[in-house]
Amino acid sequence: MSEYVEARYVKLVLREARLAEEDVASKLINELLHDLKSFQNLNSARAQAVTSIRQLSLSLDRPQSLHAREWQAADQAAEAWCRNAFH
């Protein structure tokens, strides 16, 4: 899978997860992290996106947390990765 396609996939999963109920969102994010393990192409934009998604996953495991910062960080990192992969 090209890096751009992978980054777009991440953005789509994040969007779907954000619209889902919290338990479904958590499952989608954890499955996304599993999917990302199979790709070993590491660059700084990808690494930042994966790190932000991991932080989001940890946040979703804390039900009393609001998660807004983590969602925003993951979205921004995925967008930066997508722009980086496109150019």
CB-CB contact of 82 with 8 (8 Å): yes
Q: What is the pLDDT of residue 63?
A: 74
CB-CB contact of 22 with 63 (8 Å): yes
What are 63's two structure tokens? Answer: 């039900």
Q: What is the pLDDT of residue 39?
A: 62
Q: What is the pLDDT of residue 40?
A: 62
Q: Which of 50, 35, 60 is nearest to 68 (CA)?
A: 60
Residues 67-80 have pLDDT tens digits of 899 999 999 999 99
pTM passes above 0.85:
yes
C-alpha to C-alpha distance for 19 and 84, rounded to whole angstroms? 26
Which of 52 and 65 is assigned the larger pLDDT?
52
